[in-house]
Amino acid sequence: MAHDFCLVMGQINPVVGDIAGNVKKIIAAANTARDELKADLVVFPELTLTGYPPEDLLLRPGLMTRVNQGLQALKKQIKGIGILIGHPDGLVRKDLYNAASLIADGQCLATYFKHRLPNYSVFDEKRYFVEGSKSCVIEFKGIKFGITICEDIWFTEPAAHAADAGAEIILNLNASPFKQGKWQSREAEVKQRTLETGLPIVYVNLVGGQDELVFDGSSFALSAEGLPVARAPAFQQGLFPLTLTRQRTGQITVDGELANKEGDVVMVYQALVQGLRDYIEKNNFPSVVIGLSGGIDSALTLALAVDAIGVERVKTVMMPSRYTAQMSLDDAEEMAARLHVQHSVLAIEPVFNQFLDTLSDSFSGLPVDTAEENIQARCRGVLLMAISNKTGAMVLSTGNKSEMAVGYSTLYGDMAGGYAPLKDVYKTLVYQLCHYRNSISDIIPERIISRPPSAELAPDQFDHDSLPAYKVL
């Protein structure tokens, strides 16, 4: 190798099913890497061409026609640089593979088929794909690259087979969803592969949200000794260059920049913002509307929404009843004012009274209980959905995971909405996230955080009257 080789980790955010749009993103990224970074090769994530997870789109006969058209467009338009791109390959419902191809100079130089297909948790790849069995090592500009895909790197054999076939460095394409502590476990597992093979490994991950999943990126490279030599930021699209150098010993070494890793709470907040933003943008919602109660869950939901899509696309509605405390009205108004969001008040008392009057015969002789409480929540749900239907704004549900886990919510009431940002966030973490967001700027009134939580559907009601302490729960 006469000069250092520039390899770029292409940490991009594709859209599931938008093959034409994803092709444009890939071409734009490759051209930027070539012109600005003088790159030789860009490695993109798993199934970048279709987005991940494509799920039952993979069962549609016309999908592979569009995939092949996309691959032809890449062969035609990628010039002066190589790309390693993830895509499906083969025949739908018969011999379809999760594949990666190296494209350069108008040709597909090599294609690898994923060996290990995950079929647990959020993964269902055996429904769509068949397993590959052969290793793939391709020499490109003087370096022998071994190719693996995502789950392959969690097992010894795929990387070992690539090493046995002569690979000098292993490239691993990924679509690995975020969870707390996942980046550490990825690096720890890949370290085992470097120590087993004696080869450096480059791990390129998807970034962005897709329905209930969010991908953090956090792409990285480890040396042959298992030491981190490069790491891309989490939740950030970008092109992150690595320098590959052949030492006098013949060994390939890797060098790049190491981004700082944030703590768990910060990364969870970033994940929630990323997931919410992409759900809104990829589904073309113009705006969102939130029932702002003066409580901590809706306050955090509002903060996330503003950070995700901007204040001009967020509207809040306070819907008080006879049980709503004045402090709730004041705190909701105060937070809306701090963020400069459009805020309105729609009292549900007239609607609630009409329901009670209509149901008076049916309820006659029966004690007041959760039925009356749930009517209030459903009044609010109807109002929010009416605003959504009229304006196109998506309703954000504000319930958290602690409430959802024990059913402390109202079907067709506070559960109404198109997306629930806090659906996987325990109440204890809600408090931590609010403190973190206020450390950036003081947008959530302190009283919202410090007051005992209450649904305010009955006199003197508090969550701890019906639930254990949230730390216990």
453 pLDDT higher than 80: no
pLDDT digits (tens, 9 = 90+) for 393-405: 999 999 999 998 8
pLDDT digits (tens, 9 = 90+) for 122-145: 999 999 999 999 999 999 999 999
**Strand 95-104, strand 82-91: pairing:** antiparallel
Q: How many H-runs (helices) and E-runs (strands) does the chain carry?
A: 14, 19
Q: What's residue 350's pLDDT?
A: 96
d(CA 157, CA 277): 38
User: Can you tell me the mean pLDDT for 345-361?
Assistant: 96
| From-to residues of CATH 3.60.110.10 in the chain | 5-261
405: tokens are: 């886990």
Q: Is 38 a catalytic residue?
A: no
DSSP H helices in 38-107: 63-77
d(CA 320, CA 290): 14
pLDDT tier at 148 (50, 70, 90 boundaries)? very high
Grouping H, G, I as helix, E, B as strand and the rest as coil, residue 429 is helix
pLDDT digits (tens, 9 = 90+) for 293-318: 999 999 999 999 999 999 999 999 99
Task: Select which of 6, 25, 114, 282 is catalytic.
Answer: 114
Q: What's residue 1's pLDDT?
A: 47
103 pLDDT higher than 80: yes
The sign of the CA dihedral 401, 463, 457, 292 is negative
Q: 411-416 contacts: CB < 8 A, separation 24 or more?
A: 412/378, 412/381, 413/374, 413/376, 413/377, 413/378, 413/380, 413/381, 414/291, 414/377, 414/380, 414/381, 415/381, 416/381, 416/384, 416/385
Q: Is 46 a catalytic residue?
A: yes
Q: Could you please state the CATH topology (level 3) that the domain comprising 5-261 is classified under.
A: Nitrilase/N-carbamoyl-D-aminoacid amidohydrolase (3.60.110)
CB 403 within 8 A of CB 298: no
- DSSP E strands, 303-357: 314-318, 342-345
User: Can you tell me the mean pLDDT for 193-217?
Assistant: 98
164: tokens are: 């046995």
Cα angle for residues 22, 27, 31 (degrees, 5° grid): 150
Q: What's residue 473's pLDDT?
A: 65
The residues, ordered by sequence, that sit 6+ positions from 282 with a Cβ below 8 Å of its Cβ are 15, 16, 209, 210
Q: Is 150 a catalytic residue?
A: yes
CB 138 within 8 A of CB 109: yes
pLDDT digits (tens, 9 = 90+) for 251-305: 999 999 999 988 999 999 999 999 999 999 999 999 999 999 999 999 999 999 9
Cis peptide before 53 (omega within 30 of 0): yes
Q: What's residue 452's pLDDT?
A: 75
d(CA 40, CA 463): 59
Q: What's residue 460's pLDDT?
A: 64
Q: What's residue 93's pLDDT?
A: 76
| From-to residues of CATH 3.40.50.620 in the chain | 266-466
- DSSP E strands, 370-437: 394-396
The residues, ordered by sequence, that sit 6+ positions from 228 with a Cβ below 8 Å of its Cβ are 187, 220, 221, 222, 258
DSSP H helices in 198-260: none
Mean pLDDT over all residues of the chain? 95
pLDDT digits (tens, 9 = 90+) for 188-203: 999 999 999 999 999 9
Task: Select which of 46, 125, 373, 456 is catalytic.
Answer: 46
d(CA 418, CA 396): 6
Task: Select which of 6, 25, 125, 150 is catalytic.
Answer: 150
**Strand 169-174, strand 201-205: pairing:** parallel
379 pLDDT higher than 80: yes
Count of all residues that appear for the chain in the document: 473
Q: What's residue 455's pLDDT?
A: 62
CATH number of 266-466: 3.40.50.620
